[in-house]
Structure 1
């Protein structure tokens, strides 16, 4: 029977034969002779030979197996048993964490913090979620507040004047189908602020409410009505209120405006909405004359005009400060008018919103092609024959844009 001679295995590094008893296994699974193994480092944890070790925050060198459960610091690159999250930065070890500040709101570490009213500092996440700029300066304040502590002393407040983001459930007045929501920005003397608020509340009752608005400086409020159809607005809005406010020293200037929300459900179809949007944008010159201002807060931009077909189909734009703001889901916001405490001017804003919608409701291709239906003169002729829009016609004539 033949005999077999066992051959010594070879070192996987130098290929020299070595007895099995003298073979040394590395962490990576290599089998080496003692001489080759001696050239490798040894893990401070398990003492095994290894080709690679990593430094830890405890000043040890560990192999890949001993590093299981450890995490790498994003700052010093050392491995640590515990890693801390840094908002806006890499995760770090306890030693590197000492170089970061904690958010005074959420207590998390942050790569950068921002000062807020009262002296605390907050992380970017809390700043985005919970804070905004003071309506008067750039100090960060809680979202539900309006002014920082310094500016608050200079601005009167009233419990009935809600924050800028206040939006109660709407109460509809009138028969529709077209509803209008009036936003009237009013400035007040600081010494008569409370009187002005109380006067408004006594007149509007449940028809409207008051809000703060950062554009109304140094002192004032925005009067916001619940949705009304045009006839209800003309008959039931307390128009003598405007004269009462003037007697209290309230006023308007170039910084404040009238916005009229026009209900989307008041349009018979997307094609109707398209005709209305296009009519307003095609007649920039007479519309701005009627509105008594041309403002960057209500821009007639060529870009917006080019998008009216998509807007009519429901596409919404991030650009708010356009002649017609299409961001609201339920309304188009007509922003063009300068504010006023003169009843005819406010009535004319409402009348234009209603009349332009009704005019374009029945505007046919033949009207456009043969009777120049897009043109302002065709619209003014139509208005003249409808007495319900007399405040609009009177304002057109007063401003010489009735032809």
Structure 2
């Protein structure tokens, strides 16, 4: 190597130029840097590039072994599956107008028999309720959780009313066994409440005099999955409690009512949604104080005139079950 070559090499190094060679990330053989190909974030040679192809859905370079017969990658296939993984949490899409309180429904669906094809059933549910998605849940023996995007109470009503004929046909075809084995959870948007109003809601859900009322509304005893325990408002609001409480404050953007018994009946689902909406609006009333118990809520709900939202299903349920309180 002459001095000219040495000086040239030093000059290239000083300028920070790329090395003249690199290695293929699949076969390991060296190749000229300018001949390299970057596929799926991997440096490969021309020969190894034949092991890759474009996904037809996301247009990303993918190993052929990870593509299906339609040239769709595993990530895109997973995104189109009717039943998502337990950790699946898409970006929320908000549905409905006329109210600043958005409700998210979590409906745990359990089946008696394993003869049902769950992806087919989930696909049928999502076809009639397109603002929902389905995901796995570890507490469900054989089934899935039907989860809605956040929506106003009126949007939920309209969507389910339109889907109800098809939903009832699904119920007649498949043998659900939700009651006593699963739950219904309703999320309320945290942004709807001030800090003081959230504190009143926590107090209401943990006040001893309200426990029988909450159990009657939820149609199941309060227990391991939905405990009501006095005190600890500060801890509840800071997310220091575990989530298995009547009111779970741990989610970043919502609070979750967990008291409801599982059911696939629309009447029960609507009653639960109406209760979540009603309690959320009642908490914001000027005369609702931290010491208020369920009798103040009932006086407001059943008063004349009724609240402008209209909670007919909830009101009828309370009138029929008032002897339980």
Measured against the shorter chain, the TM-score band is: 0.5 to 0.7
Alignment check: 8 A CA contact 2:129 2:159 kept: no
Partner of 2:201: 276
The counterpart of 1:211, out of the listed 135, 144, 157, is 135
Secondary structure of 1:341's aligned partner? coil
Total equivalences in the alignment? 234
Matches within 5 A, 1:163-312: 163-175=85-97, 176-188=99-111, 189-194=113-118, 195-205=120-130, 207-217=131-141, 219-237=142-160, 238-251=163-176, 252-267=178-193, 269-282=194-207, 283-294=210-221, 295-302=223-230, 306-312=231-237
* TM-superposition CA deviations, 1:336-394 (whole Å, max 9, x none): 10111111111111111110011110143xx659xxx7132221121122361111112
* TM-superposition CA deviations, 1:23-79 (whole Å, max 9, x none): xxxxxxxxxxxxxxxxxxxxxxxxxxxxxxxxxxxxxxxxxxxxxxxxxxxxxxxxx
User: Higher relative contact order by CA 8 Å / sep ≥ 6: 1 or 2?
Assistant: 2
Alignment check: 8 A CA contact 2:137 2:145 kept: yes
The counterpart of 1:319, out of the listed 242, 246, 259, is 242
User: Is 1:382 aligned to 2:300, yes or no?
Assistant: yes
Alignment check: 8 A CA contact 2:216 2:324 kept: no
Matches within 5 A, 1:5-44: none
Secondary structure of 1:231's aligned partner? helix
- CA drift of 1:397 comes to 2.4
Cα gap change, 1:263/1:345 in structure 2, threshold over 3 Å: closer, same or farther? same
- CA drift of 1:332 comes to 0.6
| Counterpart-to-counterpart distance in 2, 1:286 and 1:240 | 32
Matches within 5 A, 1:80-159: 159=81
* TM-superposition CA deviations, 1:101-135 (whole Å, max 9, x none): xxxxxxxxxxxxxxxxxxxxxxxxxxxxxxxxxxx
Alignment check: 8 A CA contact 1:173 1:228 kept: yes
Partner of 2:43: none
Partner of 2:51: none
Alignment check: 8 A CA contact 1:297 1:335 kept: yes
Alignment check: 8 A CA contact 1:192 1:248 kept: no
Secondary structure of 2:310's aligned partner? helix
| Counterpart-to-counterpart distance in 2, 1:356 and 1:401 | 21
For normalisation by structure 2, the TM-score amounts to 0.67
- CA drift of 1:399 comes to 2.6
Cα gap change, 1:263/1:291 in structure 2, threshold over 3 Å: closer, same or farther? same
Alignment check: 8 A CA contact 1:261 1:332 kept: yes
Secondary structure of 2:115's aligned partner? helix
| Counterpart-to-counterpart distance in 1, 2:275 and 2:217 | 9
For normalisation by structure 1, the TM-score amounts to 0.54
Alignment check: 8 A CA contact 2:105 2:186 kept: yes
| Counterpart-to-counterpart distance in 2, 1:309 and 1:241 | 45
| Counterpart-to-counterpart distance in 1, 2:102 and 2:258 | 16
| Counterpart-to-counterpart distance in 2, 1:348 and 1:201 | 22
The counterpart of 2:318, out of the listed 396, 399, 402, is 396
Partner of 1:120: none
* TM-superposition CA deviations, 1:70-108 (whole Å, max 9, x none): xxxxxxxxxxxxxxxxxxxxxxxxxxxxxxxxxxxxxxx
Alignment check: 8 A CA contact 2:235 2:241 kept: no
Secondary structure of 2:297's aligned partner? helix
Cα gap change, 1:177/1:394 in structure 2, threshold over 3 Å: closer, same or farther? same
- CA drift of 1:310 comes to 4.8
Alignment check: 8 A CA contact 1:317 1:326 kept: no
| Counterpart-to-counterpart distance in 1, 2:192 and 2:260 | 21
Cα gap change, 1:308/1:318 in structure 2, threshold over 3 Å: closer, same or farther? closer
Question: Structure 1 segments of 4 or more deviating over 6 A?
Answer: none
Cα gap change, 1:401/1:361 in structure 2, threshold over 3 Å: closer, same or farther? farther
| Structure 2 gaps, min length 5 | 1-74
